[in-house]
Amino acid sequence: QITLKESGPGLVKPAQTLTLTCNYSGFSLSSSGVGVGWIRQPPGKALEWLAYINWDGDRRYSPSLKSRLTITKDTSKNQVVLTMTNMDPVDTATYYCAHRLISTGSGWAIDYWGQGTLVTVSS
Amino acid sequence: DIQMTQSPSSLSASVGDRVTITCRASQSVGTYLHWYLQRPGTAPKLLIYAASSLQSGVPSRFSGSGSGTDFTLTINSLQPEDFATYYCQQTYSTPLTFGGGTKVEIK
Mutate to test the interface with B, among A1, A106, A112 (most CBs of B within 10 A): A106
Beta strand A35-41 pairing with A48-54? antiparallel
Query: What residues are paired with A82 via a beta bridge?
Result: A20, A71
* pLDDT confidence of residue B50: 97
Q: Cβ–Cβ of B91/A101 closer than 8 Å?
A: no
The alpha-carbon radius of gyration of chain B (Å, integer) is 13
Query: What residues are paired with B104 via a beta bridge?
Result: B11
What is the CA angle B107-B97-A32, rounded to 5? 120
pLDDT, tens digit (0-9, with 9 covering 90-100), for A17-75: 999 999 999 999 999 999 999 999 999 999 999 999 999 999 999 999 999 999 999 99
Measured between its terminal Cα atoms, the distance across chain B in Å is: 36
* pLDDT confidence of residue B19: 98
Give the torsion sign (CA, A114, B76, B87, A100). Answer: positive
List CB contacts (< 8 A) between B31 and chain A.
105
Is A31's Cβ below 8 Å from some Cβ in B? no
- Mean pLDDT rounded to a whole number for chain B: 97
Work out the pLDDT band at B102, boundaries 50, 70, 90: very high
CB contact at 8 A, A55 and A46 = no
Q: Cβ–Cβ of A62/B53 closer than 8 Å?
A: no
Work out the pLDDT band at B42, boundaries 50, 70, 90: very high
* pLDDT confidence of residue A106: 86
DSSP class of residue B81 equals G
pLDDT of B5 higher than 90: yes
pLDDT of B99 higher than 90: yes
Give the torsion sign (CA, B104, B2, A121, B46). Answer: positive
pLDDT, tens digit (0-9, with 9 covering 90-100), for A78-107: 999 999 999 999 999 999 999 999 988 889
pLDDT of B86 higher than 90: yes
Distance of CA A107 to the CA centre of its chain: 17
